[in-house]
Structure formats: C-alpha cells, structure tokens
C-alpha cells in the first residue's frame, strides 16, 4: 500500500511538472578516498573545498582543471570551508576542536581553539554582514560566534539535549538559523542578546539536516528521516511540507536556494544522488537530475548567483558544479 501511494505520487508529480534539465560537471580529486566536500566559491578560478579524511584544504580552478592542496595537521578532519571578507580561507577543524584561518598567499595557518573543550567538533560556518562568523558544533551541542578582529569566540549551549546543531544560514536581519539534526527543532539566535530560540516541527520523527532562506526570510528545510521538503514561517511557526519525488527513503541532504527563490536539494538515498528543484510559487518539483558519478552522498552545497552555479562535493571523490537555468519566464 505504501509503495502504491508513493508510485501514484511520483506519477502525479511527473505529469504536472515539466522537467528542467541541469548541466552537471564533475572534477576528479587526485587524492583518493579523502571525502572532498563543502566547496565554496571564491571567484571563477578558485573553488575551495576540504578533504575531510585527507586533512587538507584544496582549491580547484574550473577553467584549467588544476587542483592545489594545502596540507593540515593529521587528524584535523576539516568539515567545512568558507572565504571571509578579509580574504582568508577558513575551515572547521572538526576533529581537533578549532577553527582555522588559511592565508592562501603564504599557506600560513592560524588556529582559533574552542574556549570550552566540550565544543569538540565545530561543524558548519557562515559569515554575517558585520564580518563575524557563526558556526554549529554538532556533537558538543553548541552554536558559536567568532569575531575575527577580536579573536574571540562566544558559545551558546543548545538547551535540547543531543540536538546536534547542523546546517546554518543567515537571514536578512543578520540572525543565524540552525537546524537541530538530533531533534525535530529549528533554532535562531538574537545577535544582540545571544539568546537562542527553538521552534518545534509538528512531526516528532522529523530530522531536519540542512536549510535555506528565501528572500522573504521564510525558513526552508529538508527532513532527512522522512523524505520531505518543509517551509516554516519564522513569525508564526506555521509549517507546510511536500513529500519528495524520491519518497520517504530519499534522504534529502545538501540544500541551497537560487536567485529566483527556487529551492534545490540532493536526494541521497542508497544507490542514487538526484538534484531536485522546487518552485515555491507554483509549489511543484520541476527538476530531477541524476549526478553521473552516483555521488555517494552530497552533504553540503552553495549557490553562486553571479554564475548561476551550485557547487558541491561527493563521497565518490569529486567536486561538482551544476549550472542552473533561469526560469522559463526569464529566458
């Protein structure tokens, strides 16, 4: 009965939504089994990523295909990388309890250790408009803020036990929003008071893993455990959800939003990796594209509006680029 319901849902969806094809290109990373992940767009010649198992920061030139490596200390386990307004490249030292700053000109690294040893695994990072960095600490159950100028880190303990704060994004008012992968909650922090507020999703089995914000500051998330895309109104807490094209076992993971407020995410169910596009205005899934390498798992991705590209890393040791077409009405 469940299979029939899922099949009917898929047939209905395919009938209603014309498919938009996305061009996906992948570059093989030369260091095998190093889990290249979380690419970040520096400029058209510098796509930064980290090798989580290889303990390095890498940079890809998509034009030439050249990939350069900056070695980190063994055991660092870098999880995420971003470039800052200061021109430095920042990585989370997930297995060594620090955030690192790399000078790409000299290769020099400066480490910022967590002020509390319980914050053992800094996870995902993002800069706000003031130049401060916000980050999650999954196992340690914290949300943090790093002021690079003062070289100061502030930590907020998440009140829900084993909440596993995971994906993080910034809204238009410079408030971070965080999904709690170990619970059915989404959280935000007031940057003035550093007070954390949690919102509970209706289904106790929900496990949101990544999130994105549209231009109206609506909070969108992927429910990894149930196979849903969800939208939460941050003012009222109201939630609406849509079953994924791949069904309840689709395992939606990496997520981003484009400059037309369309949502994109990867379904990472075993044996498949599909990039799915959703139009919030029409409330339809309009695009499903397989990734050539299979992808293993695509864990995080970013959208670059200047080039209309999504960048992601895969467990099959590639860095990938998806070129996102404009909506039909804009062509």
- The residue extents of the domains of the chain are 1-30+201-331
Write the pLDDT tens digit of every residue in 54-88. 999 999 999 999 999 999 999 999 999 999 999 99
Nearest to 288 by CA among 320, 268, 318, 266: 266
pLDDT at 327: 87
Residues with Cβ < 8 Å from 43, sequence gap 6 or more? none
Alpha-carbon gap, residue 188 to 171, rounded angstroms? 10
Alpha-carbon gap, residue 131 to 151, rounded angstroms? 12
Task: State the DSSP code for 8.
Answer: H
Q: Can you give the pTM of this predicted structure? A: 0.93
Nearest to 147 by CA among 97, 189, 213, 101: 101
What's phi and psi for 131, nearest 5 deg? 95, 5
Sheet with 122-127: strands ordered across: 122-127, 133-137, 142-147, 152-157
What kind of fold does domain 1-30+201-331 have according to CATH? Neuraminidase (2.120.10)
For the chain, the C-alpha Rg in angstroms (whole number) is: 19
DSSP 229-266: EEEE-TTT--EEEEE-TT-TT--EEEEEE-TTS-EEEE
Alpha-carbon gap, residue 16 to 7, rounded angstroms? 14
Write the pLDDT tens digit of every residue in 99-153. 999 999 999 999 999 999 999 999 999 999 999 999 999 999 999 999 999 999 9
Distances (CA, A) of 58 to 61, 248, 253, 283: 10, 35, 23, 38
In percent, the amount of the chain with pLDDT more than 90 equals: 87
Give the total residue count for the chain. Answer: 331
Mean pLDDT over the full length of the chain: 93
pLDDT at 291: 84
Q: What is the mean pLDDT of residues 23-38?
A: 96
Inform me whether the pLDDT recorded for 215 exceeds 80: yes
pLDDT at 19: 74
User: Per-residue confidence at 296, pLDDT binned at 50, 70, 90?
Assistant: confident
pLDDT at 295: 65
pLDDT at 174: 97
């Amino acid at each position: 009965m469940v299979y029939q319901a899922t099949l009917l849902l898929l047939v209905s969806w395919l009938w209603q939504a014309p498919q938009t094809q996305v061009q996906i290109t992948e570059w093989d990373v030369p260091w095998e089994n190093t889990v290249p992940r979380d690419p970040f767009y520096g400029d058209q010649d510098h796509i930064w990523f980290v090798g989580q198992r290889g303990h390095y920061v890498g940079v890809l030139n998509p034009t030439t295909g050249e990939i350069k490596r900056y070695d980190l200390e063994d055991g660092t386990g870098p999880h995420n990388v971003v470039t800052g307004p200061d021109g430095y490249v920042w990585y989370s030292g997930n297995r060594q309890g620090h955030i690192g700053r790399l000078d790409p000109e000299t290769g020099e690294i400066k480490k910022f250790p967590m002020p509390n040893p319980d914050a053992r695994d800094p996870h995902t990072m993002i800069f706000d408009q003031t130049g401060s960095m916000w980050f999650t600490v999954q196992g340690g159950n914290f949300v943090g803020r790093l002021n690079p100028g003062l070289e100061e880190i502030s930590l907020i303990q998440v009140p829900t036990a084993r909440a596993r704060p995971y994906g993080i994004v910034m809204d238009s008012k410079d408030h971070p929003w965080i999904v709690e992968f170990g619970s059915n909650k989404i959280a935000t922090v007031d940057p003035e008071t550093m007070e954390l507020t949690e919102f509970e999703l209706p289904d106790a089995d929900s496990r949101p893993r990544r999130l994105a914000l549209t231009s109206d500051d609506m909070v969108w998330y992927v429910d990894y455990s149930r196979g849903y895309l969800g939208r939460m109104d941050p003012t009222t807490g109201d939630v609406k959800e849509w079953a994924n094209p791949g069904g309840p076992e689709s395992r939606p993971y990496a997520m981003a939003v484009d400059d037309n407020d369309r949502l994109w995410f990867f379904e990472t169910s075993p044996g498949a990796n599909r990039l799915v596009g959703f139009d919030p205005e029409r409330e339809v899934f309009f695009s499903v594209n397989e990734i050539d390498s299979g992808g293993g798992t695509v864990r995080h991705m970013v959208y670059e509006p200047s080039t209309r590209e999504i960048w992601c890393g895969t467990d099959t040791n590639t860095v990938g680029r998806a070129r996102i077409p404009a909506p039909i009405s804009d062509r």
